[in-house]
Chains A and B, each alone.
Chain A
């Protein structure tokens, strides 16, 4: 570390600077080389891919636009559809997720919830009842839900009167965050069966709801911290002026938490845009998303590296544009509050 020793505070010695730049350039190479390889592969023809490594377009090989033409023109319609699907699904689920998630985060940050243990257990019991009725007794989903609801409403009061212990906000938060530990593969099959029953399989709505569910814990977890960081006095004075809670939330708190909201939204957008497993379970043709199309290039004749590369590059573009647009928020180091826990 003596190499990095500052000659003056905050300034590096020349050798130190060289070492730092060397390391950073090395890592840039690690980052860029795979992307470079994808980029040049998209300009290669099959024979140039399988003939051995070729590194420089125009020097090693004559670049061709065949793969691009194939993806954008020949099968353009087949590409466009998943692309639009991905855009719709990722955008809609991200917007919904950020809205619902930050509302819940605000509630958990500012309002004291005290659900009784009895009500929570009863709720879980009625859900279990629904599942049993649907799968065990073969009742339709809506009837089972109605039956469970009746049981819940009838039993709630007596139970609450008898057992009085409470849970707190931290418990709710931990419960929601713990949903993220849940691997998607645990819930994928039941969600598949569920959407099959409601007839939503292979629709945008199914994917939007599914992505929203899996990403909700992240939004809530990160946003609670941002809301915690905003002084309470601001709200109190607004409340004194007669603003309702919703007014306070939308007109005061959300703008104040914007940096955090932007960073969180970006993260969730990337996750939704790139999601593969749930899309694989829940969509076949109509709602197919881009990651599935990328994977589909692994045809029976082996991976079509050139078209796959084109698709990978096409997939980076929207995320890159959004990131560039939002970069001033990220660059300012605003993600830091995000994980203070």
Chain B
């Protein structure tokens, strides 16, 4: 029967047919634009009579961001070296050393410590070479100058030495982690180290963080705050109390407001002359306070408005996770006289850790895209203090600097990918346990 054949064919192909639409859509509208964006980021875009003109200019757009005229905008302005700079850097290096040592459990002690210090020193070295700012900038610039190599060749050299270091580490700890794994670890370590250096260099007096550190402040600070609040509320709502459904539903409300609406709402609320908090501010003698004029208070307003919108998301999912656990274990522990804190630490937390880790990952990913809030609340100001990377790219786009915009977008992609993949590998995977 003919139709039978036709059906058989469909059934045979069903595997492909199931994912074909999704893959086609993602290819067409994600990968394809990604390619175009990559092309844009290495070109200069200009409007011509009757069309557009793309001129290939190599890595100039990136160079501008990392070492050139846009460096202050993207990476920030270097200030005086703060007192806490040295200890902080030492702490980060020590943490990475400890991390490397830990990941080589099962080896003889001496070799563990050798490998650990090699790893830590390696990423410090790599970070020093890579750090475009700070006390290291002069040295890095001098090195590049003296070697007289183009900066991309130099970057390639750093990448090669990372791979070499990975090979060395793999020899020191054979069989546990592959070379790709070591490369990933070293990349994550280098990235963190560069970040630490940037924070130190731009955190001193006269320094000013660029849009990258501002974005990370929103992402890391915001996610931490939302998680803490969401977890606290979920624990409260999981208690045996009346009116839980009411709280559950009403706490969901902020999610329904469009982010632009949230931004404008908070602009109304944060108005210190005619906003609802004005009398309070006057009473505390802060009537003249203009939060929008101060870099850090402006950043905090952005972060808090974001937290208002997204804490409910954390809350809903964490509550579901807490309630999804079996009650018997908790009740047995309570009968044995365990304190609430012990119950939480030993029973509840391990139970919800995988959900929590995946949830934080989702918020990390979404957090990198923040744009409405800083745009509406402060327009990125004062100066560039509250500009997120998406807003940075958007402003470039608005001024028709499409190449520069694409370069910022690509840097955002790099930062977001390294951060989220590292978080996935080092936190989510272990929390989930063996599958």
Residues of A near any B CB (own CB < 8 A): 1-2, 4-6, 9-12, 16-17, 20-21, 23-24, 27-28, 30-35, 37-38, 41, 49-53, 55, 100-101, 103-104, 106-108, 111, 113, 123-124, 127-128, 130-132, 135-136, 172, 176, 178-191, 193-194, 209-210, 212-213, 216-217, 220, 244-246, 249, 270, 273-274, 276-277, 290-291, 294-295, 297-298, 303, 305, 308, 311-312, 315-316, 319-320, 323-324, 327, 330-331, 333-336, 338-341
Contacts and interface: CB of A to CB of B under 8 A. Distances in A.
A213 B26 contact: yes
A11 B23 contact: no
Contacts of A291: 258-261
Interface stretch (B169-177, B193-201, B317-325): B317-325
Interface in B231-259: 232-233, 236-237, 239-241, 245, 247-259
Contacts of B390: 183-185, 277
B187 interface: no
Contact of A31 (B39, B250, B335, B339): B250
Given A106-B18, A127-B31, A216-B25, 18 more contacts: A6-B334, A21-B241, A28-B247, A31-B254, A53-B279, A111-B14, A128-B35, A181-B368, A185-B369, A189-B37, A244-B10, A276-B258, A277-B371, A298-B376, A303-B267, A311-B261, A315-B261, A341-B354
B340 A1 contact: yes
A2 B237 CA distance: 17
A126 B239 CA distance: 57
Interface string B338-350: 0111001000000
10 contacts: A21-B241, A38-B268, A53-B274, A104-B19, A176-B23, A185-B397, A245-B11, A249-B18, A327-B249, A341-B357
Contacts of B19: 103-104, 107-108, 113, 172
Contact of B409 (A4, A186, A311): A186
A318 to B, nearest CB: 9
Interface string B349-380: 00000110111011001001101100010000
Given A1-B339, A187-B34, A246-B10, A334 B274 contact: no
Given A104-B23, A189-B406, A335-B316, A316 B256 contact: yes
Interface string B1-16: 0000001001100110
Interface stretch (B74-82, B84-92, B152-160, B412-420): B412-420
B264 A303 contact: yes
A324 B9 CA distance: 43
Contacts of B293: none
9 nearest CB pairs, A to B = A107-B18, A190-B36, A190-B33, A104-B22, A187-B33, A336-B320, A245-B14, A213-B29, A333-B320
- Chain B interface, DSSP helix/strand/loop, else mixed: helix
B432 interface: yes
B296 interface: no
B267 A107 contact: no
A235 B8 CA distance: 18
Which has the most chain A C-beta neighbours within 10 Å: B233, B251, B368?
A: B251
B276 A53 contact: yes
B269 interface: yes
Contacts of A28: 247, 250-251
B362 A190 contact: no
Given A34-B308, A244-B10, A276-B372, A2 B27 contact: no
Contact of A186 (B252, B255, B410): B410
Nearest to A49: B274
A268 B432 CA distance: 25
A340 B324 CA distance: 12
B236 A176 contact: no
Given A51-B274, A274-B258, A339 B36 contact: no
Interface in B371-406: 371-372, 376, 389-390, 393-394, 397, 402, 405-406
Interface of B: 7, 10-11, 14-15, 18-19, 21-23, 25-37, 39-40, 54, 229, 232-233, 236-237, 239-241, 245, 247-261, 264-269, 273-279, 308, 312, 316-317, 319-321, 323-324, 327, 330-331, 334-335, 339-341, 344, 354-355, 357-359, 361-362, 365, 368-369, 371-372, 376, 389-390, 393-394, 397, 402, 405-406, 409-410, 412-413, 416-417, 420, 428, 432
Nearest to B276: A53
Nearest to B24: A100
A24 B241 CA distance: 11
Contact of A55 (B10, B33, B276, B410): B276
A181 B420 contact: yes
Contact of B39 (A5, A135, A182, A212): A135
Contact of B252 (A190, A295, A323): A323
Contacts of A334: 320
A336 B259 contact: no
A312 B269 CA distance: 15
Contacts of B339: 1-2, 5
Given A191-B33, A338-B317, A176 B26 contact: yes
Nearest to B324: A336
A184 B394 CA distance: 10
A172 B261 CA distance: 36
B236 to A, nearest CB: 5
A294 B261 contact: yes
Contacts of A323: 249, 252, 256
B239 A20 contact: yes
A333 B237 CA distance: 12
A103 B18 contact: yes
A100 B32 contact: no
A189 B376 CA distance: 21
A186 B371 CA distance: 13
A180 B232 CA distance: 28
Given A49-B274, A339-B317, A331 B248 contact: yes
Contacts of A220: 22
B429 to A, nearest CB: 9
B32 A38 contact: no
B258 A100 contact: no
Contacts of A181: 365, 368, 413, 416-417, 420
Contacts of B269: 33-34, 37
A10 B327 contact: yes
